[in-house]
Structure 1
Amino acid sequence: MEPVHHDLAGGPAFEPMIQIDMEIKAFVSVWRHCDYVSTYMARMISQNRSDSVRHSNLFSSAFNELLEVVFRTRHADGELACRVSRHGATDRIELILPCVPEERRFYEEAVSQVAGIEARERYLNSVSGDLAPSREVVLLELAVDYNATLRLEEADGDAIKLVVDLPLEGLRN
């Protein structure tokens, strides 16, 4: 049996797999970048999963949703870093993105809304309307449909780090 490695906070260590960095201006210049980046990264990390096609499709869909939230950013300068790491059945997406104070408040509020037992009810209420899904609803969807956990961490400068853990290998839906 292999020993379990832990990070500095005492949690299991996630092994880095792949990272893509790009200027946020370049990323938000073309909507299709969301699909290109998510599809590429999904194919790269899904090769050794029990059902690599299923895993790639689920990961690409979830990651694309996250990138579409980032795409709507109001910050025009800085770098977007997309990192994927893994521990067991869970893939971790870390997005470090430039963030103005209003965007930071949006992410803080949205991430706080995805935690707790009310998340499913909020999500179901939000998708029952006729409006297109908001950025908040997209994050709720990840928590409810993909069993994702989301949190924010501090990053250098005017940036935030959005961390999303996706237990896709064990997902039964």
Structure 2
Amino acid sequence: MSVSKQADIAPTLRPPPAPLADGMIISANFSVGGFSKRWNHCHQLANFLARYASANEDDPERHATLLSTFFNELLEAVFRNHGPCGEIQIRFRKSQSHIFVEAEVPVNEQSAKFYNHAVQLVNQPDPMSWYREQLENDVPDDDAQALGLLELAVVYGSKLSITEPAGGGQLVLAIQFPFTEVDEL
């Protein structure tokens, strides 16, 4: 019978990443007032959420960087387009090769119009041509605010949709991020 010595075991700094099961990753709720007052912390929130969502990936730093970009665009759109009061809820979940983000946002007539317009822009037949044209020319204000969300679709292949629950005053902005395909970008 032999007893293994410490030197016989290969040292590892970190265990191999475990595949993340499909399902909820993290959710965050915050008030419109608190979110608006602390806008300068948006990048920190995006970085935190991205690092958490990427913790078990093969290359967590790379995935966190990409997700931080995605999340920051979403948070910026929500910051600029929300109702005057209420609570913002963001849910992150993973399903196979995608990260799904659902942002439940209090809206008024103007902000609901913005989200509907952004979804129309993303779902047009050739959003890349439209996007390039907007970058080269003066962009109308309504379209300029939507450019960040449109960029997620045309550059990264994200899908954007909205649902408006009965009763009004809220909508759910859903974005599907291609989490594994980003390695090919």
Q: For the superposition of Structure 1 and Structure 2, which TM-score range results when normalised by the shorter chain?
A: 0.7 to 0.9
| 1:65-111: CA deviation from partner (whole Å, max 9, x where unpaired) | 11111111352200000110000110011100100012111111111
Residue 25 of structure 1 corresponds to: 33
Please say if residues 49 and 169 of structure 1, whose CA atoms lie closer than 8 Å, have aligned partners that are also in contact: no
Q: Deviations over 1:118-161 (max 9, x none)?
A: 11011111112366982211111000111100000123641110
Determine the C-alpha separation between the residues in 1 that align with 2:74 and 2:93. Answer: 16
In the alignment, structure 1 residue 151 sits paired with structure 2 residue 161: yes
Conserved in 1, the CA contact under 8 Å of 2:84 and 2:108? no
CA distance in 2, matches of 1:74, 1:22: 13
Shift of 1:29: 1.1
Matched AA of 1:33: H
In structure 2, the CA distance between the partners of 1:53 and 1:98, relative to structure 1 (3 Å rule), is same
Query: What is the identity, as a one-letter code, of the residue corresponding to 2:62?
Result: R
CA distance in 2, matches of 1:168, 1:122: 25
The corresponding residue for 2:119 is 111
Percent identity of equivalent pairs: 29
Q: How does 1:6-85 map to 2 (within 5 A)?
A: 15-73=23-81, 75-85=83-93
| Cα distance in 2, alignment partners of residues 96 and 33 from structure 1 | 20
Task: Identify the range of structure 1 (123-132 vs 77-86) with the bigger mean alpha-carbon deviation.
Answer: 123-132
- CA RMSD of the aligned region, Å? 2.0
Give unmatched runs, 5+ long, in structure 2. Answer: 1-21
* TM-score, with structure 1 as normaliser: 0.85
Unaligned runs of 5+ in 1: 1-13
For 1:125-140, list aligned pairs within 5 A. Answer: 125-129=133-137, 134-140=144-150
Aligned 8 A contact 1:90 1:165 in 2: yes
Which structure: greater helix fraction?
2
Flag as ranges the 4+ runs of structure 1 deviating above 3 A: 129-133
Which has the higher mean CA deviation after the structures are superposed, 132-141 or 54-63?
A: 132-141
Distance verdict in 2 for CA 1:40–1:111, change over 3 Å: same
- Higher Rg of the two aligned structures: 2
Report the equivalent of 1:3: none
